[in-house]
Every structure is written in structure tokens, then in C-alpha cells.
Amino acid sequence: MIDIHTHIMPGVDDGAGTLEDALHLIRQAVEGGTREIILTPHCAPSYGFFNFNDYLLEEKFDVLCRAVEKEQIPVVLHPGMEVLYESKEEFLIHIDEYFPLCGGRYFLMEFFFDASGENLLEGIQTVKEQGYIPVIAHPERYECVKKDWELALEGCKKGAKFQINKSSLSGTHGEKAARCATCLLDMDLVDFIASDAHHVWERGSGLGRVCRFIEKEYGTERAKKLFVTNPRKVVGRRK
């Protein structure tokens, strides 16, 4: 499996705090069947995370890759980031400082949880205009989508891809988020299921259990599409 959304890079956001924490999360992921991981630290100045694409992130990525190699953990790491979209003006100011998933065309973006539907659709259009494929992180957690599931359908028609969190399906983010995630799956609007891993003990990195759940409820081919085939398109676009 390939996990396209994680907060495993140590010491850069609200995820792994140390290199050892990061290695624990990576081992947990591998034990659950994950073989490739995209590291997606928050790029969200409003939350206090100023992780723009610079040499510091590259250095931390290289350090973690070397540690994984030294520990002989059978996993491939890829660079990326999760960008908080606030407004078109703010987004375009920093456009050259963002880093798409694996350096390719897929662009992981999140919104404020109380963002309007108009803001979400504007974000999708803005990212499309820059030549990227917008990947909306955890749409099931946004109030506008929870209130109107058809909003995701409209976003899909505009070219967005949707990634739901494994933790939403388990009820970690509440009953409404779980119900919304299930509805999006039933509507076949979900392109990826990712861990959004933060800590081993809370919102961990293992995907094995949720993959088995999808296989049982939606079939083996659907699970392969969500955890392997679609994510493979993302890592395959690495420049």
C-alpha cells in the first residue's frame, strides 16, 4: 500500500516530534502493509506551521531517509506537503513556495474546518488554474461537506480528487464525519484513503485494518484502487 498523507517528518508540525517518533510511525506503517509513504507536513501559517519548500525541509527529509536506510526498514519515502487554502490571494502569494506531492502534479490541500462551500470550490479552481490536480484532504471533516454531500460531487466535476482519513471511518472525528466518509465511499467519490498519521498512540500510521474493512464492505478491487492503484499514479508523477 501507499500512504499519501502523513505527518511523520519530525519536528515540523503537530505530528512526530523526534526522529525516533518518526521511525516508530514508519515501522507501524510497514507492519500494517504500507510500502511507500509520502511525507506531508502542514504548510499552514495560520496554524503556526511555516513549512514552505526550502532547504530545511529537504535536509529533514534526507536525514529521515538515511535513518530509515540505516535501520533497514523496507519502505520508500517521498516528499510532499499539505497546504492550507485560505483565499486565492493568499495562495498565489506563496505559489512558488509550495511543493506538490512527490514534486509532480498532485497537490494536497486542506481547508479550515468551518470553511464555506464557496471557499472549497474556489480552492479547487485556483489549484487547477496553476496546472495541478487538487487532492482534497479529509473532506468528511469539513462542515460544509458534512451538511451537503453533493458539494463533493460538484468538486469532483471540477477535477478534484478526494482523500478521506482512516480515522474518520473508525469514528475518531465524530459520528457526522464517519457518516460523511461512508457516504462519499458509497457515492464512489473517494480516490484515496490515507492515515493522516500524527502519533503512534493516536491517529497512527497503520492501514492494514481499514484496508481489510474496505475489502469486506466494497470488495478487493475497490480496496486496491484506493490504497495502491490511485496512489501509484501520485508517486509515479515524481519529477
What is the set of domains in the chain, with CATH numbers?
Answer: 2-235 (3.20.20.140)
pLDDT at 239: 39
Average pLDDT, the chain: 96
Contact residues for 105 (Cβ-Cβ < 8 A; gap 6+): 131, 132, 133, 237
Helix axes 19-31, 55-70, angle to 10 degrees: 60
Q: In the sheet that 42-44 helps form, which strands lie side by side, from edge to edge?
A: 49-50, 42-44, 82-84, 106-110, 133-137, 161-165, 192-194
Contact residues for 213 (Cβ-Cβ < 8 A; gap 6+): 169
Q: Are 124 and 159 in contact (CB under 8 A)?
A: yes
Q: What is the DSSP string of 89-151?
A: HHHHHTGGG---GGGSSEEEEE--TT--HHHHHHHHHHHHHTT-EEEEE-GGGSHHHHH-THH
Q: Are 82 and 107 in contact (CB under 8 A)?
A: no
Residue with grid cell 473517494, as numbered in its chain:
190
pLDDT at 52: 83
Share of the chain above pLDDT 70, in %: 99
pLDDT higher than 70, residue 103: yes
Q: What is the distance between the alpha carbons of residues 89 and 81, in angstroms, rounded to a whole number?
A: 20
Share of the chain above pLDDT 90, in %: 90
C-alpha cell at 219: 470488495
Question: Which burial class, exposed, middle or buried, applies to 154 when counting CB atoms under 10 A from its CB (0-12, 13-18, 19+)?
Answer: middle
pLDDT at 131: 97
Q: What is the distance between the alpha carbons of residues 55 and 62, in angstroms, rounded to a whole number?
A: 10
Residue with grid cell 504548510, as numbered in its chain:
43
pLDDT at 107: 98
Q: Are 122 and 112 in contact (CB under 8 A)?
A: no
pLDDT at 203: 86
pLDDT at 238: 44
Q: How many residues does this entry show for the chain?
A: 239
Q: What is the distance between the alpha carbons of residues 36 and 44, in angstroms, rounded to a whole number?
A: 25
pLDDT at 56: 87
- The number of beta carbons lying within 10 Å of the beta carbon of residue 227 is 25
pLDDT band, residue 237 (cuts 50/70/90): low
pLDDT at 50: 81
pLDDT digits (tens, 9 = 90+) for 11-27: 999 999 999 999 999 99
pLDDT band, residue 49 (cuts 50/70/90): confident
Q: What is the mean pLDDT of residues 171-192?
A: 96
Q: What is the distance between the alpha carbons of residues 126 and 78, in angstroms, rounded to a whole number?
A: 25
pLDDT at 158: 97
pLDDT digits (tens, 9 = 90+) for 62-96: 999 999 999 999 999 999 999 999 999 999 999 99
pLDDT higher than 90, residue 186: yes
Judge if pTM exceeds 0.85.
yes
Q: Are 14 and 202 in contact (CB under 8 A)?
A: no
pLDDT band, residue 166 (cuts 50/70/90): very high
Task: Name which of 82-86, 134-138, 148-152 the model is least confident about.
Answer: 148-152
